[in-house]
Every structure is written in C-alpha cells, then in structure tokens.
Structure 1
Amino acid sequence: MKPATVVIVGAGPAGVRAAETLVAAGVRPVLIDEAARAGGQIYRQPPEGAGFVRTKSELYGFEAGKADALHGAMVRIAGKIDYRPRTLVWAVGRNTLDTLRDGQQESVPFTHLLIASGATDRILPFSGWTRPGVYSLGAAQIALKSQGCAIGARVVFAGTGPLLYLVAYQYAKAGARVEAVLDTNAFNRQAAATPKLLKSPSTFGKGLYYVSWLIAHGVRIERGVTLLAAEGERAVSGVRFGRGGKEHSIACDAIGFGYGLRAETQLADLAGCAFRFDALNRAWLPERDIAGRTSVPNIYLAGDGAGIAGADAAELAGRRAALALLEDTGHRVPAGAAALEKKLADIAQFRAGLEQAFALPADCTAAWPDDMTVCRCEEVDAGTLRRCIRNGEAREINRLKALTRVGMGRCQGRMCGAAAAELLSAETGRPVSDVGRLRGQAPVKPVPISLAFTAGDDAPLASPDDSDE
C-alpha cells in the first residue's frame, strides 16, 4: 500500500496537537501555516526580531502555561514534520492544495487532509466603521501581541463576546488607556447563562476576573447598548451609542469591535465538504462526526474552523481528528479517544452558555442607515442591498451577491457575509438559516493575478455550483 501523504493546514492549538499525535505514531505530516511562527491567534508569538520584549505571562496572562506548552510541543516535533510557515493555502483541488509562500506558487499533494483553519472576527457594521481608527477585536489583539503596540491612545472596545473583555483587559494590563467597554448584551441576560457557564468553572472564573479587574481599575463598562456610530471627520474622535432610550458619546481615537468569532470554512467548502446550518453558532458549518471526519473521505476538521469552541477544545479536537486519521490509515491507535470526546462534550455545554450570554443583537439591522457601508471591499451600502431585496430581485444570499457584488471583494465575505445575511433575513422575514450561505471561491485570499494562470488543473477557480439560486 502506498504510504499516506498527510497535510495539516493551520499551526494553532488544533494543528499542533494533531501533528504531535501523528508524529508519536510515526507519521511525518506536512504542517502549513500563514503565520511566521506557530501558535495560532490565541497563542500568537511576536515575530523574530520584533524589537520589543514581553514575557509569556505578559502576552498570555492566565494562559501563559498553555501557550508555553503548545510552543514547546512545536519545538519538540519541528524536526519530525515538514513545517511550512508563511504559507497561504489559497485553493483546494482533488488531492492537491495550491499554496503561496514568499511569492512562489507550489502545489502540495495529499492523500489525507486535516483542516485546522481557525476563526476570525464576526463583524456587524455600524455607521463610520470604515473610518480610520476602527479595528476588529482580533486586529487589536494582533497589534498588541505581534507589534507590541496599542491601536490608539484612548481606546473604546465594543460589541459582545468573551473576546471583548479579554482584549480590553489585555490592553489595560499592558498600560493602554481603555476609555470604556460597550457590551450590546444586558447584564441580566449574561447572569441567566451562569448555570451553563459553570460547566467550566475555571474559564468562567477567569472571565469574572477580567471584568472585575477592569472595574477595579476604573474602566467604564456599559451593558445593553446599541452601537450607533464612530464619530469624527478624517479619523475617529469618539463613539456614539444608545442605552436606556438615550444617546451617549465617549471621546476616543480608536475603536476595537466585534461580535464573537466566525469559523474560517472556505477551505472545507472548496474541498467539497457538506455543510449544515448550526443554530448555536448562527452560521453554516461543515458537517463532521465527533472524531472530525467530514462528508469527504480522508478530509478531517478540527478546532474553531469547524465551529467556535475555544483553544482548549481545539487542542482536544486536533488530537481526536489525528486519531481518526491514524485509524483510517491502518495505524495502531493509542487509547484515549473516548476521554477526548467526553471533554469535548463538556466544553460544548459551556459553549452553549457563552452563546446565551453573548448573543448577536436582536433586530440589529433596523438601526442601519441606508448610506452605511456593509461591504467595504466593493463599497456596497445597506440601501443598495435593501432596494435589491425589496424589489424582489434577491431572496437568497448568492443571488444578492451576484446582483450587488456584496462579498465579492478581498475579504470574500469574511467581514460582510454575516451582515448581508442578517439584512436579507430581516427584509424577507425569514430565518437566517433560510437565506443560504455564501459559497467559497478560490482564491480564498488575495494572491497575485498571475497565479490564476499557473495553478494546477485541479485547483477550482469557482464553486462547483455557480447557479444564482
């Protein structure tokens, strides 16, 4: 039998633990990652020669031990894997990945593919969100971890989700001036989720600590707000929000905002994996079993790219998917699969509590003015989308995309896709699950146009289904 060629995409918690498990069984996988150093977003390392020094305790807080363990695992297996950092996977063909590294295109064959692509910010726009000085929460965190700098001198963090309080804490702890934290969810909603959140008491306790620390250090926290606008002429000078039937304003020169995370599913889509709507994540996710197997033979998923569950779950899921891969390739599988599945089930209950505590704002689109940009890449505003929908021209998201170009730009719908779906849902009076999902397209991220003519024959340059409806 021809030996398996195993490729892992993503060197975050899921990818590193999957690689570690495979190496222990005598398999030498290819590990591909966009970043220069392993760790993913949660355990992101500063670049070599960054020009600043921050300890792991300063970078990762309570998670310093976990970060150090993951980084250490990567160091131990580095000589036993084919590690390819600074490498973008931009297309998936039949048993082939198309990649770009340092400007050079390379096709990477595989017999078995484990996708650990992680997540990015879930964005809902507001007036002025394209103004200089407005960042996603993830971008604000990257600036702090990778560049050792804050996004502004006076920062407001807004939106909802655990990352909101974590990033605010990290900034304030690092010495940045945090003017306020604006949470779109009310305190009573978050308190009602406590029984589910106590399924992971240590994580819940850390969240309480972040909030308490911020309050103790004079950071203003407002809950149950509606984010209205980033104020300013050429750049951000303040943020305006509604609460208790009144409008309020806070002066600042930078805003970090986001509404939790969304799974990066484009590679799974291009690989042909079946999708289903997940009510908990309020998103379309690739189907997988408890072991990480997808609907496509020999393709596996692990970590937040398959559904948001956090770094601890990602490590567990990476190990579990690797065990499934070993079983499918005829290797002796070490014990422990059942224990991993039990831990993942416990985390899933905690995750349900997080979604209850930090839900998307209800009827969020009602406050969006027609002249507000929804898709910044293609400069499509809410009014354009509304007119297209109200004229009866679009009742499905890909039809709306075809007629307005929403989601056709550099971000491939990463930033605007959720907003466009929510607006379509509100305007048609249908659940967001009924308006469809944006289909993945290659290249999943911007690449030189010359690569479109040099990619392998198996690399899809469009979705298998190009119909509008």
Structure 2
Amino acid sequence: MTETSSPRIVIVGAGPAGIRAAAALVEAGLHPVVIDEGQRAGGQIYRRPPAGFTRTPEQLYGSEAAKARALHALFDRLAEEGRLTHWAASSVIAAHEGRLHVLGEGGVEVIVYDRLILATGASDRVAPVPGWQSAGVYSLGAAQIALKAQGVALGRRIVLIGSGPLLTLVGAQLVKAGADVAAVLDTSPRAQQMRGLWLLAARPLVTLRGLALRATLGGRYHAGVTLERIEVDGRGVTAMSWRDAGGRRRLTPCDMVGMGWHLRAETHLADLAGCAFTYDEQWRQWLPKTDEMGRAGNGVYLAGDGVRLLGADGAEIAGRLAAAACLADLGVSAYSAGTDLRKLARLERFARGLATAFPWPEAMVRSLPDDAIVCRCENVTAGAVRESAGFGGEANRVKSLSRAGMGRCQGRYCQLAAVELVAAQADCTPGAVGRFRGQAPVRPAPIGAFLREG
C-alpha cells in the first residue's frame, strides 16, 4: 500500500451534493479530488445507465430529467477540462488522521487531505419482517438501481412494502416500465399521512407530483397495512401475508418483495472522521452534528442526505454551502449563503412533514417474534438481541454479545431495529441505548487489495 500526494480538498461522493461542492471549489480556483463508487457521476437519485442504454432520461428520472442532465453535464465538463480529479469506481473504506484509504481496481491507495467534504448520501432504511432473509427480498433502492442501470425488474410478480415517497416512486417506475406490481403496501395509515400535510405544504408542487404518482398505482396501493410475514419455500419468496387497514388477512402471491421505510443517512465515514452525533427522535436515527453550513469540525464538512435527509434539491444546496464553509475557512471569499439557507429551511420543513406522514414502524419492530431474523448477515434473531439486552442495554454491548451489526453490512440494515428491541427491553428511548461504533473497513475489501509486489 503506497501513500500518494493529493490536493488539499477531497470530496467523497459524486451525487448532487458532491457535484455542487466540486463546482463551487473549481469556481474559486481550486482543484478538488472527487471519489465515488459509481463509474459515472450522478449518485443514486441520478444514477446513469451504461453507454448505449436505450431508455431516455425522461423515462429514467421523470420530472427530474432536466436536473439530472444539468448535473451530469456540469461534472463531465469539469472533469474533461481537467479542473477536478475524478476517482471513479472507488470506495473510501477508512478515514483516520487526515488520510483516506481508497479501494479501487488497482488495490488500496492512501490519500492525504487537509479538508474533507463528505457527500456520502443515504441508503434504504429497512425494518425486519419475518422471512425477509430469504432469496427474492430486496431493498427499494436495489430495485430502483436494477431498473435504472440495467433496465430490468427483479421479479416476475412484485410486492413492495414499507412507507415513504420512495415506496410510491419505485412502484410507479416499475409500473411504467411494464413490470407486474401486484401490491404496494404502506404501513402508514392515511390519517397519519394527513398529519404531515401542513408541513408538506412547504413544497406544494412536489407534494402534488407525489400524489399523482400514487394515483398511477390505482388499486395496488394500500395504506395502514399490517405486515405479517413473507412466505417462502426452498427457492425463495412465494407470497406476502398482510392485513389491510380493516384487519382482513390478505395473501398476495409474488416472487419478489422490495422493502424500505424512507432513508437512512450513510454516516460510517463521518464516524471514522471524528464527527459528533445526535439522536433525532423524529427520524429515529443517529445523525452527525454540524453547523448550518455543514461544518463538523477538524476540517470535515458534511453535505446531502448523509447529514440532512432533504432529497436531491436539498443535497445540491448543502453541497454549495459545505464548499462555501470550506472556502471561508481557507480564507477564500465565497458567495453570500443567505438565500440558500432560507431554501434549506423550507426543505427542512418539508422533510419533517415526510417524517411525520411516513414514520418508522416502531411498534412493528418491537413486536417481532423471537424467531424473526434481525441481522441477516450474522443470522441473529430478535430473541438473541433481547437476551443480550439483559446483560446491559447499551448498543455496543449488545453488538458484542449477539453479533448483530458485525457482518458484511456493518449494521446498516439491522442497527435501527436492534436498538429498538433493546430500548423496548430496557424501557428507554433508542437515543439512550446509543449506536454501533463505526469500524473500518466500512465496505468489504479483499485481502489482496492491500498486497503489492515488493
């Protein structure tokens, strides 16, 4: 493993936040390094398909096609002009004392930074449902990636479960692409959704677009459902067992289940970079602490869904703000941030409306049967987590005793549910239980990537 010289500013993530941060730094005369896991910039929301893909941006991104085109063109132009360095298909797997360990095709390299902008985005927030460890169960994001990047649906007959705007969006995208979507099952009752409406009015056009997408689902969409279990056989998923809002038991045959309850901020690198965290009761997850510009201290800045779950528009604004904060700390004059801060406040109100209307299914998680799998990587059951909680209701003690969160995903899919179970056992809030400590590598890395001849 060799240590390479690098520019002073490194951006991790080439989604909307990372692209806008890079553009602001370039405009100020600096040359940032942008590291991203994708082969081409765009992030998850504006993920680009391979060259020669026949579906148009309008088909892929819908009403956001113009924004996607603009961001893609901006980043590509800056890269082609040599005004930034793009490390594509590369994952930052560790951060320590001003160094990033980056896994790419050639192995692991170490990049030294003076200033670090983390625009790591978010991933699906999933909740365990009995049977979810079986073949044929995917996150909503995985279903969306397969559709955008490969033009395929991940099942012949599909059921989507969860809550939040992504549930409706992925359902509508699959229906539009011709997939057989049998049901879209939302755990949030309609009355609960109405409680968030006054905050959702902060972005009326976006709210109306969401309602229009839901209308395209027709009778497939069901609100206020109770999810009982995913039925499986030796080959994988066979049906979804659920109860409708009236309590009637339903069984929907399918061979694929997509699941997700809004988003979970991707915070592992922020943790390793030394950022402080606070538990957000409304979002039911730990989020990094920053000032309004994205400063997290020690030369680290955060932007996008990795710190505030505000969507693509909010990510663009946060990227500009993080770059402006970085420039100001370097003594370089930047733009006046007042307008962007006001826009961000409006987006924050809208996001709080989403959190109110489509809440994390706390009661469902806490009532999981003991034999239900919570951690799919390590095959840890709800009963094992509850038993471990009896030896001290602290997240990392439970992690060490039960092995929940020690697997390939590093707790990304099980931590929130495990902490809910511990909190229920200890009769306290998840915030009091704490969070799993971040560990390197934050992504699986082959041993061979660390080995070099000589």
Query: Please, what TM-score do these two structures have when normalized by structure 2?
Result: 0.95
Asked whether the equivalents of residues 415 and 436 of structure 2 are also in contact (C-alpha less than 8 Å), the reply is: yes
In the TM superposition, residue 213 of structure 1 has moved relative to its aligned partner by: 1.7
Match of 2:232 in 1: 232
CA deviation string 1:42-85 (max 9, x = no partner): 00001235xx4100000001111111111111122112101101
In the alignment, residue 328 of structure 1 is paired with which amino acid?
Answer: D
Asked whether the equivalents of residues 198 and 350 of structure 1 are also in contact (C-alpha less than 8 Å), the reply is: yes
- Map 1:46-195 → 2, pairs under 5 A: 46-48=49-51, 52-78=53-79, 79-195=82-198
Q: Which moved more, 1:20-29 or 1:184-193?
A: 184-193
Among 202, 205, 215, the alignment partner of 2:205 is 202
- Map 1:35-46 → 2, pairs under 5 A: 35-46=38-49
Unaligned runs of 5+ in 2: 1-5
Q: Which moved more, 1:55-64 or 1:231-240?
A: 231-240
In the TM superposition, residue 274 of structure 1 has moved relative to its aligned partner by: 1.0
Distance 1:8 1:366, change over 3 A: closer
- Map 1:285-300 → 2, pairs under 5 A: 285-294=287-296, 296-300=297-301
Give the Cα–Cα distance (whole angstroms) in 2 for the partners of residues 417 and 365 of structure 1.
12
Asked whether the equivalents of residues 8 and 29 of structure 1 are also in contact (C-alpha less than 8 Å), the reply is: yes
Among 394, 408, 418, the alignment partner of 2:406 is 408
Among 27, 30, 49, the alignment partner of 1:27 is 30
In the TM superposition, residue 453 of structure 1 has moved relative to its aligned partner by: 7.8
Give the Cα–Cα distance (whole angstroms) in 2 for the partners of residues 452 and 372 of structure 1.
37
In the alignment, residue 332 of structure 2 is paired with which amino acid?
Answer: H
In the alignment, residue 298 of structure 1 is paired with which amino acid?
Answer: G
Asked whether the equivalents of residues 159 and 227 of structure 1 are also in contact (C-alpha less than 8 Å), the reply is: no
Asked whether the equivalents of residues 7 and 33 of structure 2 are also in contact (C-alpha less than 8 Å), the reply is: no
In the alignment, residue 397 of structure 1 is paired with which amino acid?
Answer: A
Matched, 1:353 2:353: yes
Matched, 1:420 2:421: no
Query: Please, what TM-score do these two structures have when normalized by structure 1?
Result: 0.92
In the alignment, residue 295 of structure 2 is paired with which amino acid?
Answer: R
CA deviation string 1:409-468 (max 9, x = no partner): 1000001111101111112111111100011000001001355688xxxxxxxxxxxxxx
Q: How many residues align?
A: 443
In the TM superposition, residue 208 of structure 1 has moved relative to its aligned partner by: 0.7
CA deviation string 1:138-168 (max 9, x = no partner): 0000010011100111111111011000000
In the alignment, residue 248 of structure 1 is paired with which amino acid?
Answer: R
Asked whether the equivalents of residues 272 and 439 of structure 2 are also in contact (C-alpha less than 8 Å), the reply is: yes
Asked whether the equivalents of residues 8 and 32 of structure 1 are also in contact (C-alpha less than 8 Å), the reply is: yes
Asked whether the equivalents of residues 106 and 449 of structure 2 are also in contact (C-alpha less than 8 Å), the reply is: no
Match of 1:279 in 2: 281
Give the Cα–Cα distance (whole angstroms) in 1 for the partners of residues 367 and 252 of structure 2.
19
Aligned residues: percent identity?
49
- Map 1:246-285 → 2, pairs under 5 A: 246-285=248-287
Give the SS at the match of 1:179: strand
Give the Cα–Cα distance (whole angstroms) in 1 for the partners of residues 97 and 321 of structure 2.
24
Give the Cα–Cα distance (whole angstroms) in 2 for the partners of residues 376 and 441 of structure 1.
18
RMSD over aligned CA atoms reads 1.4
Give the Cα–Cα distance (whole angstroms) in 2 for the partners of residues 437 and 451 of structure 1.
30
In the TM superposition, residue 394 of structure 1 has moved relative to its aligned partner by: 2.7
Give the Cα–Cα distance (whole angstroms) in 2 for the partners of residues 84 and 4 of structure 1.
13
Give the Cα–Cα distance (whole angstroms) in 2 for the partners of residues 56 and 340 of structure 1.
27
Matched, 1:380 2:380: yes
Segments of 4+ moved more than 6 angstroms: none
Asked whether the equivalents of residues 128 and 365 of structure 2 are also in contact (C-alpha less than 8 Å), the reply is: no
Matched, 1:315 2:329: no
